[in-house]
């Protein structure tokens, strides 16, 4: 397959007077921040994965176990805020504002390539998704991979233009490094179509862009590789542990799971949920069809690369979550959505401009506005529902932590068992587990620590104590569905 080099019509680089008067990309970013601040920030506590990432750099709490598949980019991102305050609200506000700025900056890279109108539409298509709004103020990596990938693809195309400034190569490497630091595997999947394009397009066969991509991968993955040798004995061992933690990476058909979990739950593992509102998933089913149509229509233009490259990168970033993993979460496909919004917006605008009759233009614009309004209304409906579910979950974590403190668990203390990382974080305790994906201690070592630190083992209500805590005192934690088994002074280690 051959991708034509980027050629921008001269008129595209000069904004239309109407576009110059209305700063649509800036307005989309502002609206993205406002919706987050109004609907998500005031109500949402820290979720399970967030407490793991945040605890790594929060000086007020012990660090939770950091499992093999994780990357530390999001921890580094929130570290400056946590150095100043431990307030969840302050962290949420900072991330909401930062994500809105990053949304604008990432799509701003594309403005010289597709123009401000198309840039604004693409960013709106992505920012209007309920997953983008819910995870904008959260300390989770997927949204940041998405925005880094959008910027990286744009800088790649700009670096391939004749007499491109050297700064474009630096920006390309930096954005690939950013995506890789947030999730190593996603950085690799992003780099693959970029490297393949360097090889496939004759005029792109230059060493500088290739070296920039490779350097970005190396820089973004350096910490992960160093930690692989320090904690797991090498990259191969860490990859093997990562695969086991995720249930075994391999050829698996996860498209159905991704579709069924599209509107929630936030984590579908095991994924046996039914599809509650199929009408709200029509956009997802139409997405690959529309992107494929945009790619085919681009065959007749000189701007094939502007359509094809983000489509290829988006498809590549969806591969591990649709074909290689045995569970699903709506946030996994955020990088794909962010990239696929670009060919959709570009082709939609091109189709509109190709119409010469005013009536046809009016009808197309009216239909597009109606469909977009219906789509955003559906996304709002799903956002409210899932935000409420997330709020209830984090509220249960807080209630369990309050219950443990009433039982006398104060730092230094230890929480183990069900939901140990988030409950331990809220209680100010260390967390550890003797089994499962977060196993990081043996039962014997846990009992030795329990001999001198206040310790509680959490289990589901009425499920009975762990074997090592059979003589510990049970304390139901109302409103959480959990029972805490607390080691009393008479318990033997």
Going across the sheet that includes 455-460, the strands are: 430-432, 414-417, 455-460, 482-486, 473-477
Least confident of 67-71, 356-360, 387-391, 413-417: 356-360
What average pLDDT score do residues 414-420 get? 95
Cα–Cα distances in Å, from 270 out to 265, 314, 324, 326, 329?
A: 11, 25, 15, 8, 11
Whole-angstrom distance between the N-terminal and C-terminal Cα of the chain? 66
Write down the pLDDT at residue 301: 82
Between CA 251 and CA 266 the distance in angstroms is: 23
What confidence tens digit (pLDDT) does each residue in 290-328 have?
999 999 999 888 889 999 999 999 999 999 999 999 999
What confidence tens digit (pLDDT) does each residue in 452-479 have?
999 999 999 889 999 999 999 999 999 9
For residue 358, whether the previous peptide bond is cis, meaning omega lies within 30 degrees of 0, is no
What average pLDDT score do residues 107-116 get? 97
Least confident of 130-144, 160-174, 401-415, 479-493: 479-493
Kindly tell me the burial class for residue 296, based on how many C-beta atoms sit within 10 Å of its own C-beta (0-12, 13-18, 19 or more): exposed
What confidence tens digit (pLDDT) does each residue in 31-45 have?
999 999 999 999 899
Write down the pLDDT at residue 20: 55
What confidence tens digit (pLDDT) does each residue in 188-242 have?
999 999 999 999 999 999 999 999 999 999 999 999 999 999 999 999 999 999 9
Write down the pLDDT at residue 276: 79
Write down the pLDDT at residue 15: 45
Write down the pLDDT at residue 19: 42
Write down the pLDDT at residue 487: 87
pLDDT-derived band at 13 (thresholds 50, 70, 90) equals: very low
Write down the pLDDT at residue 237: 97
Write down the pLDDT at residue 17: 47
Counting every residue written for the chain, the total comes to: 493
Write down the pLDDT at residue 274: 86
Between CA 451 and CA 491 the distance in angstroms is: 9
- Whether the predicted pLDDT of 10 surpasses 90: no
Nearest residue to 61 (alpha-carbon basis) of 426, 456, 452: 426
- Whether the predicted pLDDT of 1 surpasses 90: no
Which pTM does this prediction carry?
Answer: 0.94
pLDDT mean across residues, the chain: 93
What confidence tens digit (pLDDT) does each residue in 380-396 have?
999 999 999 999 999 99
CB neighbourhood size of 276 (10 A): 12
- Whether the predicted pLDDT of 286 surpasses 60: yes
Write down the pLDDT at residue 12: 42
What average pLDDT score do residues 394-415 get? 96
């Amino acid at each position: 397959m051959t991708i034509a080099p980027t050629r921008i019509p001269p008129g595209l680089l000069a904004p239309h007077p109407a576009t110059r008067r209305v700063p649509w990309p800036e307005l989309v970013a502002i609206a993205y921040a406002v919706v987050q601040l109004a609907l998500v920030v005031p109500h949402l506590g820290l979720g399970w994965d967030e407490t793991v990432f945040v605890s790594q750099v929060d000086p007020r709490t012990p660090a939770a176990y950091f499992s093999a598949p994780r990357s530390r980019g999001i921890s580094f991102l929130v570290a400056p805020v946590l150095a100043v305050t431990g307030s969840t609200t302050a962290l949420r506000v900072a991330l909401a504002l930062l994500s809105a700025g990053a949304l604008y900056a990432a799509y701003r890279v594309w403005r010289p390539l597709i123009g401000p109108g198309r840039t604004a539409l693409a960013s709106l298509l992505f920012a209007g998704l309920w997953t983008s709004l819910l995870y904008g103020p959260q300390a989770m990596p997927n949204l940041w991979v998405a925005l880094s990938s959008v910027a990286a693809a744009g800088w790649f195309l700009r670096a391939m233009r004749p007499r491109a400034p050297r700064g474009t190569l630096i920006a390309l490497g930096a954005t690939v490094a950013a995506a890789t630091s947030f999730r190593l595997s996603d950085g690799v999947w992003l780099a693959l179509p970029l490297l393949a394009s360097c090889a496939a397009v004759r005029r792109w066969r230059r060493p500088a862009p290739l070296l920039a991509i490779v350097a970005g991968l190396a820089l973004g993955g350096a910490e992960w590789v160093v930690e692989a040798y320090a904690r797991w004995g090498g990259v191969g061992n860490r990859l093997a542990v990562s695969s086991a933690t995720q249930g075994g990476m391999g050829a698996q058909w996860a498209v159905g799971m991704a579709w069924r979990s599209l509107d929630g739950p936030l984590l579908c593992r095991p994924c046996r949920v039914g599809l509650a509102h199929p009408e709200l998933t029509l956009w997802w089913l139409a997405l690959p069809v529309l992107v494929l149509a945009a790619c085919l229509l681009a065959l007749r233009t000189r701007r094939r690369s502007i359509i094809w490259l983000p489509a290829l990168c988006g498809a590549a970033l969806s591969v591990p979550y649709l074909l290689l993993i045995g569970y699903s979460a709506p946030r996994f496909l955020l990088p794909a959505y962010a990239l696929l919004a670009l060919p959709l917006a570009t082709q939609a605008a091109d189709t509109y401009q190709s119409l010469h009759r005013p009536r046809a233009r009016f009808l197309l614009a009216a239909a597009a506005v109606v469909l977009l309004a219906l789509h955003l209304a559906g996304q709002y409906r799903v956002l409210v529902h899932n935000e409420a579910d997330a709020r209830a979950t984090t509220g249960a974590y807080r209630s369990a932590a309050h219950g443990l403190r009433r039982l006398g668990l104060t730092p230094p203390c230890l929480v183990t068992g069900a939901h140990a990382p988030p409950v331990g974080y809220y209680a100010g305790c260390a967390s550890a587990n003797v089994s499962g994906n977060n196993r990081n201690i043996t039962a014997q070592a846990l009992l030795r620590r329990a001999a001198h630190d206040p310790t509680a083992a959490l289990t589901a209500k009425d499920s009975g104590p762990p074997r090592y805590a059979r003589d510990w005192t049970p304390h139901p934690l109302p409103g959480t569905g959990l029972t805490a088994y607390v080691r009393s002074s008479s318990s033997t280690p």
